[in-house]
Amino acid sequence: MLAFIGGTGLTRMDNLRITGSQTLSTRFGEPSAPVVEGRLNGREVLFLARHGDPHVLLPHQVNYRANMVALKDAGASAIVAVNAVGGITDKAPTGALVLADQIIDYTHGRDMTLFDDPEEPLVHVDFSWPFDAALRAALKERLTVSGLAWTDGGCYGATQGPRLETAAEILRMERDGCDVVGMTGMPEAVLARELDIPYAMLSLVVNPGAGKSDREITMAEIEAVIHDGMAGVCRVLADLAEHW
């Protein structure tokens, strides 16, 4: 079953009928919110509000391990993660969607693996290509016919948050090869790999990265882009569900 991780706004899609929810507990604790079940364009789907419902959890406070295990327990066979990002390079103008194919992790202190029980075997997963190729290809097909501005490929830089980055940090990330910057991509992506669940990320660019414009970044401007851009994201996800 296809699952979506993002904000609570994802459950207000057109043609979505909510059919139930599961309040799940895992050995890693409680997920951010109940797993919502629905039918989208006639297909069964799952939703999880990454930051809680209502939105109360900062990026470093999210129990990523519990979230991913809860989705698997609920029947997720593939996961599309939606997130808001800052744009660093010309590949990521404000308002566009980015279908990243690489990731660099700058976070710290987060629980990064499901395999930390000394009583269980240690597992090293291959993470050379962090996003599932087949799921990315399916998203590319839907984005191609969407009429939206989008970029195929790019590197997502995952930072700790909750503060935004300094201009010097963005310059460093650009030198490292990052095209966008966000706070939720890790450890979410690697946990999906450890669970052997196909995972891809669809990022909405909501502001230029620090130092990439001559104006201060304001939350009001970010929220306005999110409001406008999420309508397009929802259309793409609904189309994906229909064709998955």
CATH number of the domain encompassing residue 170: 3.40.50.1580
Q: Are 104 and 112 in contact (CB under 8 A)?
A: no
**In the predicted model, what is the mean pLDDT of the chain?**
93
Render pLDDT for 120-149 as a digit per residue (tens, 0 to 9): 888 899 999 999 999 999 999 999 999 999
Tokens (6 digits) for 96: 């566009």
Look at the chain and report how many structural domains it folds into: 1
Q: Are 206 and 200 in contact (CB under 8 A)?
A: no
Give the per-residue pLDDT at 219.
79
What are residue 156's phi and psi, to 5 degrees? -95, 125
Q: Are 48 and 147 in contact (CB under 8 A)?
A: no
On the question of a cis peptide bond just before residue 187, with omega within 30 degrees of 0, the verdict is yes
Give the per-residue pLDDT at 48.
96
Give the per-residue pLDDT at 123.
87
Give the per-residue pLDDT at 81.
97
Examine the pLDDT at 8 and tell me if it is beyond 70: no
Cβ neighbours around 127 below 10 Å, total: 12
**Kind of pairing, strands 35-40 and 155-158?**
unpaired
Cβ neighbours around 128 below 10 Å, total: 5
Q: Are 185 and 130 in contact (CB under 8 A)?
A: no
Task: Please give the share of the chain, as a percent, with pLDDT higher than 70.
Answer: 99
Domain coverage including residue 17: 2-243
Q: Phi-psi bin for 93: left (phi > 0), alpha (psi -120 to 50), beta?
A: beta
Which of residues 206 and 13 earns the better pLDDT score?
206
Examine the pLDDT at 3 and tell me if it is beyond 70: yes
Q: Are 101 and 136 in contact (CB under 8 A)?
A: yes
In the numeric block, the tokens 């006639």 are attached to 42
